[in-house]
Amino acid sequence: MALHFDEAEYAARRAALTASIRARGLDGLLMFAQESMYWATGYDTFGFCFFQCLAVGADGRMALLTRSADLRQARHTSDIADVRVWVDRADAGPVAQLADMLADLGLLGGRLGVEYDTHGLTAKNGRALDAGLAGRGELVDASDLVPALRVVKSPAEIAFVRKAAALADDAFDAAMAEIRPGADEGRVLAALQGSIFAAGGDYPGNEVIIGSGEDALLCRYKSGRRILAADDQLTLEFAGVWRHYHAALMRTVVVGRPRPRHVELHAAALDALAAVETAMVPGRSFGDVFDAHAAAMDARGLAAHRLAACGYSLGARFTPSWMEWPMFYRDNPAAVVPGMVLFAHMILMDSDSGTAMCVGRSYLTTTGAPEPLSRLPLALPVVG
Site for a second copy in 143-182 (CB under 8 A): 143
9 binds a second copy (CB under 8 A): no
The SS3 assignment for 240 reads strand
151 within 8 A of 313, measured Cβ to Cβ? yes
**Residue 357 β-bridge partners:** 348
| 20 vs 45, beta carbon nearer a second copy | 45
Please choose, from the candidates 265, 219, 263, 214, the residue with its C-alpha nearest in 3D space to the C-alpha of residue 238: 219
20 binds a second copy (CB under 8 A): no
By CB under 8 A, the residues from 67 to 106 that bind a second copy are 67-70, 72-73, 76-77, 87-91
Pick the binder of a second copy from 181, 221, 284, 300 (CB under 8 A).
Answer: 221
Please choose, from the candidates 27, 38, 89, 88, the residue with its C-alpha nearest in 3D space to the C-alpha of residue 64: 38
Least separation in angstroms between CB 380 and a second copy: 22
Pick the binder of a second copy from 138, 173, 231, 331 (CB under 8 A).
Answer: 331
The Cβ of residue 73 has, within 10 Å, a number of other Cβ atoms equal to 17
The Cβ of residue 96 has, within 10 Å, a number of other Cβ atoms equal to 11
Least separation in angstroms between CB 59 and a second copy: 26
Pick the binder of a second copy from 135, 155, 224, 260 (CB under 8 A).
Answer: 224
Pick the binder of a second copy from 138, 184, 231, 371 (CB under 8 A).
Answer: 184
Pick the binder of a second copy from 2, 8, 134, 379 (CB under 8 A).
Answer: 2
By CB under 8 A, the residues from 283 to 302 that bind a second copy are 287
Q: What's the chain's Rg over C-alpha atoms?
A: 22
> Interior CA angle at 34 toward 28 and 39, to 5°?
75
47 binds a second copy (CB under 8 A): yes
Least separation in angstroms between CB 283 and a second copy: 19
Q: State phi, psi for 87 to the nearest 5 degrees.
A: -110, 135
User: Which stretch in 112-120, 264-272, 297-305, 336-344 sits in contact with a second copy by CB under 8 A?
Assistant: 112-120
Q: Which DSSP state fits 304? A: G
Q: What gap in Å lies between CA 261 and CA 122, rounded to an integer? A: 44
Pick the binder of a second copy from 138, 173, 214, 231 (CB under 8 A).
Answer: 214
Least separation in angstroms between CB 188 and a second copy: 9
208 within 8 A of 236, measured Cβ to Cβ? yes
